[in-house]
Amino acid sequence: MKFDLNNTISVMKKYLDIPSPSGYTDIAVLECKKDFEELGLECSLTNKGCLIATLRGEDDEKQVTISAHMDTLGAMVKEITSDGKLKYHKIGGGCWGAVEGENCTIITRKKGEIRGTVIFKYSSTHTYGQALAASERNDETMLIRLDEDVNCKEDVLNLGINVGDFIYMDTRFEYTKSGFIKTRYIDNKAAVAIVLELARYFKKNSIIPARTTNFFISTYEEVGHGPSNAIPVKTTEFVSIDVAPVGAGQTSNEHSVCILAKDKLTVYDSYLRFKLTDIAEENRIRHNVDVFNSYGSDASQAISWGEDFRFANVGPGIDTSHHYERCHIDAIDNTLKLLGAYMMNK
């Protein structure tokens, strides 16, 4: 199978440009619904805002569901300080230092978007000296400085900013000549682009998958309850797509698709993992199998919520996950090839 990788990257960039931290995903999901419908897929929305797009296959009884989560990391306004800055809570994981110095957008409920920057309270060594500048980053010392003329809490409230407003960090997307993609939120906008490319490829080439395939776009994976109890009832195999962190002690790399054996929540189903590994070997798809210590996926979350099916997780290897992330186009291509071959497997 030869997938359109340039289109895949364009779709990924499109969704990176639509803010969707956990809890604020409706705009992105509705755009995704439109894209699936333009390809001719049947679509429906769950009560909590997940999307199901269905591609009919030869076998409509033993269905497959492939998931990608639309939600990303982000932040939420926790407090407005007396001098007009914002304290915030992180949405999802990531360390405090991951966003230090990053430009961001505060999404107000009624007055549009306000720009700002994540700063450390003692960042100026001229003012505070080296000792304070090197001190701990935490929820008391990390602040958002607004790019508005504000000097007190009332000034901020007059802008329309309130506790509970969402904050989205700039992605700083770059696609290099050497094939690397650098951006925030590869996790998991890469997966959204992958499922849309799979749907486009099958529809454009009039290919009918072996089994009816549901593409499930979940909305709360980063906070632990992605597809909870809303997966199509005929699903017998569930494969989530998520990023595979690269680092010390891991087999994952930025050029391969990773097939997960275990995460912090559960061991993955060996039958389905072995099937995917066999498909990768038979089709000479560059892959690896890995075990992650601090990781969960739509698949492992679904099982913890009581779903009953074979379950697996695959995805492109990425460097510096939950930070300023990077992967190579090869990893996305290999993920596409594995899932495309899996959809044709009887």
Among residues 31, 38, 221, 281, the one annotated as catalytic is 221
C-beta of residue 311 within 8 angstroms of C-beta of residue 304: no
Bridge-based pairing state of the strands 211-218 and 235-241: unpaired
Nearest of 43, 90, 69 to residue 300 by alpha carbon? 69
Q: What b/e sequence results for 282-292 when a residue is b if at least 16 CB atoms lie within 10 Å of its CB, and e otherwise? A: eeebbbbbbeb
Nearest of 242, 235, 241, 244 to residue 310 by alpha carbon? 235
The tokens 């978007």 sit on which residue?
113
- Rounded CA-CA distance 69/217 in Å is 5
DSSP letter assigned to residue 247: -
- Rounded CA-CA distance 210/64 in Å is 9
Residue 57 three-state SS = coil
Known catalytic membership, residue 37: no
Bridge-based pairing state of the strands 310-318 and 235-241: parallel
Kindly state the tokens that stand for 151.
């000097």
Nearest of 301, 223, 228 to residue 22 by alpha carbon? 223
Kindly state the tokens that stand for 7.
């289109």
DSSP letter assigned to residue 268: P
The residues assigned a catalytic role are 221
